[in-house]
Amino acid sequence: MADVPTGNDDREALDLLIRGFEVSRMLRLVADLGLADKLPRDGNTPVSALAADCSVLAAPLLRVLRALASFGVFQIGVDGSVSHSARSLLLRTDAQNSLHHGARFWTARGSWNAWGALDAALAGGNPHQTAWNSTRFQYLRDHPDEARIFDDFMANFPDRRHQTLAESFDFSRASLIADIGGGNGQALRQILARFPGPRGLVFDREDVVAAIAPQARSDGRIEVRGGSFFDRIPEGADIYLLVRVLHDWADEDCVRILRNCRLAMAPGTRLLIVEQILEPDPVRGRPLDYLVDIQMMAMFGSACERTVPEFRALLGQAGFALERVMQTASPVWILVAAAA
């Protein structure tokens, strides 16, 4: 038998990166079971009781949890008892900045299969289109269960984007705030909870706004309206929001969206673009930012994360001037633009 090199930290680290999809899939499995919520925050639970609560077999569940525990997710006693670790607590739905929704979203079938066709992007194609013969947003319309997972993930994205937006910008003088492509309305709920004066408008696809329950409309302060931001954007708001919208689209589509915003905006109105800013030097950037950039490539082909100069160029083409770039306590930044 050949000698096996020892002490090769880089080799083992790379091996774990290569096999990272296995860990992701196990995390999706336990998140789908809601297992972290079924496990008490303190104390141990026999794996047999946990399996019964999840309506699965104990032996395979123990094997999955043992594997995750080797990565610090859950703790397993030699007697088969299960308890939380600091990491598994983050899978609880009641955890601050919970990763439960991320564990379900990243390996959902739509995303999972598109990543399997990632090489299509290197030839100018769209991996999601290659995998599903469908655009990303059409796929979500055709798979409403997965679309709701997407909406929950966007509302609970662990970068605290919505809370940070509400904390970082003064919305007190606005009468109406329009969130364009606003998903399930979480950004506006955070803003309106902090500022009692304004009203809000969520503008998104018909199927998206139809899923916003009346009790999620901030006691009637949030109106919902369905439509496409490629056709027309509602007029009358003092502040327009584009929260993590532009990174879903290629440059030419971004310019179309921005021009429609410009047409809807009265003098003195401001546009707030909430996005991550891509650092061109990966030595200085965060790995998570570059993974999101490739996610955009996998889902949409030419969509991408952007640098400040790239945002400034898009805004200029659409008739805007970039007034301010505001760093926040979150990975997202706020770019404030006005009509040029």
Please identify every residue annotated as catalytic: 247
Measured between alpha carbons, how far is 13 from 20 in angstroms, rounded to an integer? Answer: 10
Minimal CA–CA distance to 70: which of 136, 148, 12?
A: 12
Structure tokens at 152: 């929950």
Distance CA 115, CA 295 (A): 8
Check: CB of residue 71 under 8 Å from CB of residue 7: no
User: Which one-letter DSSP state was computed for residue 121?
Assistant: G
Question: How does DSSP classify residue 5?
Answer: P
Across the strands, what pairs with 202? 179, 224
Show Cβ contacts of residue 276 under 8 Å, excluding neighbours closer than 6 positions.
Answer: 159, 247, 289, 292, 305, 331, 332, 333
Q: How far is CA 92 from CA 40, 174, 186, in A?
A: 10, 36, 19
Rounded CA gap, 250 and 302, in Å?
5
Distance (Å, rounded) from C-alpha 199 to C-alpha 220?
A: 9
DSSP string for residues in 251-311 = HHHHHHHHHHHHHHPPTT-EEEEEEEBPPS-TTTS-HHHHHHHHHHHHHHSS---B-HHHH
